[in-house]
Amino acid sequence: MYCPQCGQQQVSDVTRFCSRCGFLLEGVTAVLASGGQVPMRYSQPGNTKLSPRSIGVRQGALLMLSTMLLVPLIAIITVNFLEPLMFLIPITAIFCFVGGLLRMLYALMMEDAYPQPDLSNVPGFATGIPQMDTSARNPGLPPAPANPAAGWRPRTNTAEIYQPPSITENTTRLLDKDEPSRK
């Protein structure tokens, strides 16, 4: 295995750091072993996040259930203290129930079903590693030469020296030989 940072060949595939530049090779080994994909074996099942879809469905259900608490509470306050504002009761009921229903529908139709993986707490796969952000100390190609090469000269056309005969030329010659004998 070669270090992706400096190109140094490693003594063994089980080395954790490059012997030349110190690059962390544990993640590279895991990616190579999984065929080029970042393995998710490090994520623990107890620490999984909810997907945006399930968060949206929960918010919608909570808004719909809040109808059972808010509508009676608004009704008691309106009947006892604010007689002229009786229209607040059906508006609250419609807003909470329909709003929750719409939130659930939006989450089911438009949001992702899978949570975004959090690679910040996974060992060996830290995001924003400074060594990944910097360019290699030893680039793959040498620097450009200071004195450029001489101008390119086009190749000479050698087809002018010998012109291949035409396919029909031989047949024409045979026909020309037959013509005088017929006369």
Tokens (6 digits) for 8: 């140094």
- Confidence category of residue 126, pLDDT binned at 50, 70, 90: very low
**Which of helix, strand or coil describes residue 9?**
strand
Q: Which residue has the higher pLDDT, 88 or 2?
A: 88
pLDDT at position 53 over 80: yes
What's the pLDDT at 11? 76
- CA 50, 51, 53, 56 torsion: positive or negative? positive
Instruction: Give the separation between CA 114 and CA 53, rounded to whole angstroms.
Output: 8
What's the pLDDT at 20? 81
Amino acid at 120: S
Amino acid at 80: N
Burial class (CB in 10 A: 0-12, 13-18, 19+), 59: middle
Which of 8-12, 27-31, 137-141 is the least confident region?
A: 137-141
Averaged pLDDT, 79-98: 89
What's the pLDDT at 43? 47
**Total residues belonging to the chain:** 183
Amino acid at 75: A
Tokens (6 digits) for 59: 């918010």
pTM, to two decimals: 0.41
Please answer whether residues 117 and 40 qualify as being in contact, where contact means their C-beta atoms are separated by less than 8 angstroms. yes
pLDDT at position 123 over 60: no
What's the pLDDT at 130? 52
